[in-house]
Amino acid sequence: MPDTLHIESPEAPHPKSGRSWIAWMGAATILIALGIVMWPAAERRSASNTRESHLPFGSAEQAYAAQLQIENLTLSRAENFLNQEVTTLAGRLTNGGNLPLSNVELTVEFSDQLGQVVLRETRAVFAPQTSPFAPGEHRDFEVSFEHIPSSWNIQQPLVRVSGILFTSNK
């Protein structure tokens, strides 16, 4: 029986090869890799956005801030488990006013030898689920800083109230 030889003409369309499948798999792999690389950056952005949401500090909060006393400030340094030096500011906050508060935000400013601010950080001092900070109550707080510039003058930083969240039953 004679063998039939099939000769393709140049005008005839070629059947799809496995190359397009490989191209699609390569593109999908690149997209997945980009997603994996970009995910931590998106996590950091969302975490920093929540961290930077500040408590209100309008005229009512500014007037009430004078009723809050920041006392017994102490600084300490320790090494964390990653052998990084951490500076901790501890103190006592007193609610000398007549309203309960949900949270208080403090701004801490570290200066250099010339009195210029080398680090300014704002932090809420109470955990979100903490009971209201009642009038006349004293509460200890602690704020840690991992990266203080080497130009810091090793003096006590300036600490001031920069936000107050009144409880809903004002």
State pLDDT tens for residues 5-56.
555 555 555 555 566 778 788 877 887 776 776 666 554 444 444 445 789 9
**What confidence score (pLDDT) does residue 11 get?**
59
Q: How confident is the model at residue 110 (pLDDT cuts 50, 70, 90)?
A: very high
CB neighbour class for 113 (10 Å; exposed up to 12, middle 13-18, buried from 19): exposed
pTM for the whole structure: 0.67
CB neighbour class for 117 (10 Å; exposed up to 12, middle 13-18, buried from 19): exposed
**What confidence score (pLDDT) does residue 50 get?**
40
- Quote the mean pLDDT of the chain: 84
**String of b and e for 43-68 (b: at least 16 CB within 10 Å)?**
eeeeeeeeeeeebebeeebeebbebb
Q: How confident is the model at residue 118 (pLDDT cuts 50, 70, 90)?
A: very high
More confident residue, 58 or 129: 58
CA–CA separation, 63 and 55 (whole Å): 15
More confident residue, 146 or 10: 146
129 phi/psi in degrees, rounded to 5: -90, 10
Residue 95 has pLDDT above 70, yes or no: yes
